[in-house]
Amino acid sequence: MTGIFASNGEYVPVTVIAAGPCVVTQIKSAETDGYDALQVGFQEKDLDKVNKPMTGHFKKSGSSGFAHVREFQVDNPADYTPGQTLDTELFDVGETVHISGLIKGRGYSGVMKRHGFRGGKKTHGSRSHRVPGSIGNSAWPGRVIKGKKLPGRYGNSRQTMKNLKIMDIREKENLLLVKGAVPGTRNGLVQIYKTNASK
């Protein structure tokens, strides 16, 4: 993350995203695959470092290998061709996008870190500092209710931040400057979706 100054002089925190270039590796249609989608590849990779099934798959689109392959649903796949390059030209400054990514994994965490519990008393003889406390009743229902907030694995799950505004576009470097934070770590892989019906 970094920050830029908007036209009104306001300092805005932004996340810099390398949005491409992505190459269309396959076009899926409702007639052949049951749904309309584009398969795109990102971050070029030598074909000799790709396994044989994926090597044949990439050669069909006439492109080199890619480290990451993802699918995006589209309304009209006939508008695209295999081997076509997608970059920041798809976006405009000021529009909003949805961004999905894998949030940081934090391992097995307690209720204070995982759910923001306040914790118990620190003094006056209390021995309950970071534990969840009472989690159910004795006689009825005599069990722990499903969905109770308890310790467990925290993070390492997919999360989507919605309606993030594009503050600036650096076309030469294929960079998007998006207002606010996005899910994931530095150099993590994210997926960007347009907010309107045609993705």
Question: What are the pLDDT digits (tens) for 84-122?
Answer: 899 999 899 999 999 999 999 999 999 999 999 999 999
| Residues 61 and 85 sit within 8 Å (Cβ to Cβ) | no
Tokens representing 185? 């770590």
Q: CA angle, 122 as apex, 116 and 124 as ends, to 5°?
A: 145
Q: Which of 23-27, 132-136, 195-199 is predicted with the least confidence, judged by mean pLDDT?
A: 195-199
* Per-residue model confidence as pLDDT tens digits over 120-179: 999 999 999 999 999 988 888 899 999 999 999 999 999 999 999 999 999 999 999 999
Cα dihedral 124, 125, 128, 133, rounded to 10, equals -80
